[in-house]
Structure 1
Amino acid sequence: MDITVFCSAAALDDRYTAPAKEFAALLGKRGHTLVWGGSDAGLMGVLADGVKEAGGRLVGISVELLAHKTYRGADELVMARDLPERKAALLARGDAIVVLVGGLGTLDELTEVLELKKHGLHTKPVVVLDSAGFFAGLRSQLVRMAAEGFLPRPLDELVFFAEDADSALAYLEAAGEASAA
């Protein structure tokens, strides 16, 4: 599978980098391709290094604004004109979406992916790897939105919250097998 990952480009501590490294190693060992923002910075670089070290393939989709931070070891590097074009290309290129910890950009990417899925504009599985409970507040808000009728589809049809790398990848692989059947 080509798995698009949205995450931070910030340097983070071990409670966030360790799950990213674990996920990256699993992704590479199982022969999946990482599609990501193309950066060598922070968590993005950690993720790319881990996939590469485990023998996986890397497809970076960067933007002219951040060209100076591109990952030099990518198997393929695509340059988008701007951030909206990059976000669209990342969504289009992946068979599935995974969200790791991140800031406003990552939150923007996640909410757009969920909004598009809510409207049936894609059917790709979406997984949030909830490292160290980082997304607990967002999860709580989404549960409330569902309970109070703000979501036209059940929350579990939109997103899966994984507690660890194994369950994240297991969910994606099961979803991939189900869609292939």
Structure 2
Amino acid sequence: MNRIQTVCVYCGSSPGARPEHIENATALGVALAKAGVRLVYGGGNIGLMGAVARATLANGGHVTGIIPQFLVDREVMLGDVQELVVTADMHERKRLMFERSDAFVALPGGVGTLEELVEQLTWAQLGRHDKPILIADLDGFWSPLLTLIEHMQAEGFIRQGLDVPYIVASKIDDILPMLEAAVPVLEAFGPDEDEEALERL
């Protein structure tokens, strides 16, 4: 049984400049569905967002779309998902995406995707959660960000003991296995031991 039951995918509402972006988003949707892992995403029907959601649905997977009211028309909301949540604003959207997910994956995207990813990295750095965060550095898309994080460390702005916790995958096929491997130690207990382990902690 997968320890990761639900994955939140952050990605662009645009298709990007290269066909590989849509192909990779589609492949991730297929992988999620085949593994029985539910998708939580931003609710849109266009760009990479639409591609990952439609691929998940087309292969029998479960999709939860969470979208703020003001983006319902702009991002062409996907109404075919099993669960659709329309929020009052972006803050509520991001909170619900966090609460309903066991892990996070950042596919290529723009400043909105970057903002969502960095927020999760910040919360994890400050000890607000220990859910796995995976940066899908497909064809080197996120390499400039990874270099920037290393630069911040070298310049002393990410202090020792406050490391930014993330994992990096360069292939779609590696994403789910890497997330499973990154589940916190508690999740390694068997089903009969979970409650007892929680009480001890």
TM-score (norm. length: structure 2): 0.84
Pick from 102, 105, 109 the counterpart of residue 109 of structure 2.
Answer: 102
SS in 2 for 1:158: coil
Separation in 1, partners of 2:185, 2:47: 34
Max Rg structure: 2
Q: Greater shift after overlay, 81-90 or 118-127?
A: 81-90
Alignment partner of 1:8 is 2:12: yes
Listed as ranges, the matches of 1:108-123 within 5 Å are: 108-123=115-130
Identity across the alignment (%): 34
Calculate the aligned-residue CA RMSD, in Å: 1.6
Tell me if 1:124 matches 2:151.
no
Q: Rate the CA distance shift 1:177–1:21 in 2: closer, same or farther, 3 A.
A: farther
Residues in 2 aligned to 1:177 and 1:167: alpha-carbon distance in whole angstroms: 18
- Cα-to-partner distance string for 1:64-110 (whole Å, 9 max, x where unaligned): 01223211211101111111221121112110000011111111111
Asked if the contact 1:59–1:74 (Cα under 8 Å) also holds between the matched residues in 2, the reply is yes
Once superposed, which parts of structure 1, at least 4 consecutive aligned residues long, lie more than 6 Å away?
none
Q: Residue in 2 aligned with 1:136?
A: 143
What is the TM-score of this pair, normalised by structure 1?
A: 0.93
Conservation of the 8 A alpha-carbon contact between 2:126 and 2:162 = no
Q: CA deviation at 1:148?
A: 3.2
Bigger relative contact order (CA 8 A; separation at least 6): 1
- C-alpha distance 178-23 of structure 1, shift in aligned 2 (>3 A): farther
Where structure 2 has 5 or more consecutive residues not aligned to the other structure, the ranges are 189-201
Aligned partners of 1:161 and 1:115: how far apart in 2? 16
Specify the alignment match of 1:35 in structure 2.
40
What is the rounded CA distance, in whole Å, between the counterparts of 1:53 and 1:170 in structure 2?
A: 22
Give the Cα separation in 1 of the matches to 2:78 and 2:8: 16
* Per-residue deviation, 1:151: 2.1
* Contact preservation (8 Å) 1:59, 1:77: yes
Distance 1:154 1:142 in 2: 12
Q: Which of the pair is proportionally richer in helix?
A: 1
- Measured in 2, the distance between the counterparts of 1:151 and 1:179 equals 27
For the 8 Å contact 1:146–1:154, the answer to whether it is kept is: no
- 1:1-181 alignment runs, 5 A limit: 1-12=5-16, 13-68=18-73, 69-152=76-159, 153=161, 155=163, 158-176=165-183, 178-181=185-188
Where does the alignment leave 5 or more consecutive residues of structure 1 unmatched? none
In 2, the alpha carbon distance for the partners of 1:21 and 1:147 equals 36
CA distance in 2 between counterparts of 1:24 and 1:7 reads 12
